Structure 1
């Protein structure tokens, strides 16, 4: 009986191929937070969010950003219900929530953790590129102050914490060095490198991750690295694959790639490609249903030629 190798020749696995990751890669879903920031997207009711959360758990997504509680009472209520569902139903997926590097955004996340007994990873973001500093009238001293204040508050309350630099791929190394060192000194668990405007090429991904890894190594810590991409140049999927090869510990994305402007990295397509490459063994039988649920819940049309 013929085997696949008898009927095709696969150039993808011949000769000088890229190295597979030496460690397990984690997946971080942004559908229910960054994804629904798109002005053309409907913010789903909590019942729909719970359906999506359960399906994300089924396909083996490690963690999900489920909202920004600092945005107001509805966000607090939705995040609380989702965290309680994770707890009460014994889901494996872990909750995360977004925040500015400001106590007013961080405190509501701490409050929800204390109420539910479930650790919520805080993803606190801060603009770091020269154009953002110019626009806001900020300087590096102010950025470092915000960086330290937020990380210190989170770790004082024993919260898992990730420091997110917005527009990292267009930020100056000197600025990143100062902010990363400050965050790590205050105990941050992770650094999230962001291609906020979809500017990066694969070379840029490699350069930025290597820069960050070298800094972490020099400081002698076990700080992890996240990669968060956008699709403005149509490169977010390949950039995510390169981020994995470069050593990122966790990759962000959204189902259907929904998000601001042209969207985020398509998490569903990333999972399919990693499965085909035999890098992951996630059970993806519910992936099609998840894509359809997200489309229905957000009133977003699935392209007729969509790969999944």
Structure 2
């Protein structure tokens, strides 16, 4: 029996925090439909409480139909000085009229003291109250535990207490965030296993998710490891765009889950659309596509050395880990000073020139 997983895309919100990555409202609508066609489960459209562009996007999306994906609005817990009813951020989330809302809260005590400048118990209160207030307005309610891994390493009891309040508040999924992107795979596993034990101890059946940043080049590895441990949801961006060094790259995660790990999700059945989807995001952002990107890069299945080309012509498995067509890509044979006879014969045949071998 295949394991199911939820694919949550945050390109339209977290991805747009990348340097030089900008999308208009029209671009975001086109990408939303493309993600829907691919089979993405949740599309995070932006933060309506902080950006007028996001408000405009959510207003326009009310007139658009998505066949599979659930549009998601993103925001924060209420300000401590405000009641939920008078908090503009929470009201903006409700006004976005999305079936899903994701809010983030603080898991790391240093952020409570230095960023929010409130007491630890006050932070726990606003987590629970914000979620409880939003719960009746949505089909699904997700909680992003910001800086969870760093917070856990510094103060395990408090990080777990923040999750406890999110459960009490009614979160359907707790997303553990490596916000600074500094975690390595060997650190991730014991923390996730402790969280899973904590949830069992409470008698809860809440889902878990992973949101990894790529500052140590391990976002994809950390995400796949988390899923292999039983985490239900993975968050990321198309082509890995995001603040600083980027987010976990869904263009690498989706085919890995489908072709290598035996998972089941709508988007995993449509991975032949992955290359076109990745290219569209770059095109609309007016950025060059990374040709060396796994799976969807133009060089991902490009062969240059003569010995390699000769072997691939006989059996592609000799130098390809999957068939490129499965993700919508193609095999390319290159001509260079390292090319052999097989390269030249292949290129000539491609252009209708018959050569004597």
Q: TM-score, normalised by structure 2?
A: 0.74
1:91 matched to which residue of 2? 67
Q: Which residue of 1 aligns with 2:49?
A: 70
Identify the match of residue 270 of structure 1 among 253, 257, 278: 253
Matches within 5 A, 1:1-308: 23-42=3-22, 44-86=23-65, 90-102=66-78, 103-113=87-97, 119=99, 121-136=100-115, 137-158=117-138, 160-171=140-151, 172-277=155-260, 279-280=262-263, 281-307=268-294, 308=296
Give runs of ≥4 in structure 1 deviating > 4 Å: none
Contiguous gaps of at least 5 residues in structure 2: 79-86, 297-357
Measured against aligned partners, the alpha-carbon deviations of 1:181-208 in whole angstroms (never above 9, x if no partner) come to 1111121111110000111122222222
Tell whether the 8 Å contact from 2:29 to 2:57 is kept in structure 1 after alignment: no
Displacement of 1:83 after TM fit? 4.3
Q: How many Å separate the matches in 1 of 2:33 and 2:183?
A: 32
1:49 Cα deviation (Å)? 1.3
Partners of 1:62 and 1:158 lie apart in 2 by 16
Cross-structure match for 2:83: none
User: Displacement of 1:274 after TM fit?
Assistant: 2.0
**Distance change (3 Å), C-alpha of 1:156 and 1:106:** same
Rounded Cα–Cα distance in structure 2 between residues aligned with 1:152 and 1:259: 30
Displacement of 1:243 after TM fit?
0.7
Q: State the distance in 2 between where 1:305 and 1:156 align.
A: 45
Following the alignment from structure 2 to structure 1, what is the Cα–Cα distance between the partners of residues 138 and 281?
A: 33
CA contact (8 A) 2:3 2:262 kept: no
The Cα RMSD (Å) is 1.9
Contact 2:21 2:287 in 1 (8 A): yes
SS of the equivalent of 1:272 reads helix
Query: Structure 1: how far apart are the matches of 2:243 and 2:256?
Result: 24
- Residues 238/127 of structure 1: CA separation in 2 closer, same or farther (3 Å cut): same
CA distance in 1, matches of 2:245, 2:110: 21
Q: Is the Cα contact below 8 Å between 2:132 and 2:169 reproduced in 1? A: yes
CA contact (8 A) 2:214 2:247 kept: yes
Q: Contact (CA 8 Å) 1:155, 1:187: kept in 2 or not?
A: yes
Deviation at 1:228, TM superposition (A): 0.2
Contact 1:66 1:82 in 2 (8 A): no
- The alpha-carbon distance between structure 1 residues 288 and 129, as it changes in their structure 2 partners (threshold 3 A), is same
Q: Could you state the TM-score of these two structures normalised by the residue count of structure 1?
A: 0.85
Aligned residues of 1:64 and 1:94 also touching (Cα < 8 A) = yes
Rounded to whole Å, the distance in 2 between the matches of 1:167 and 1:291 is 28
Q: After the TM superposition, which of the residue ranges 288-297 and 104-113 deviates more from structure 2?
A: 104-113
Going from structure 1 to structure 2, the CA distance change for 1:158 and 1:50 (only over 3 Å counts) comes to: closer
The answer to which structure, 1 or 2, has the higher relative contact order (CA under 8 A, 6+ apart) is 1
Who wins on radius of gyration, i.e. which is larger? 2
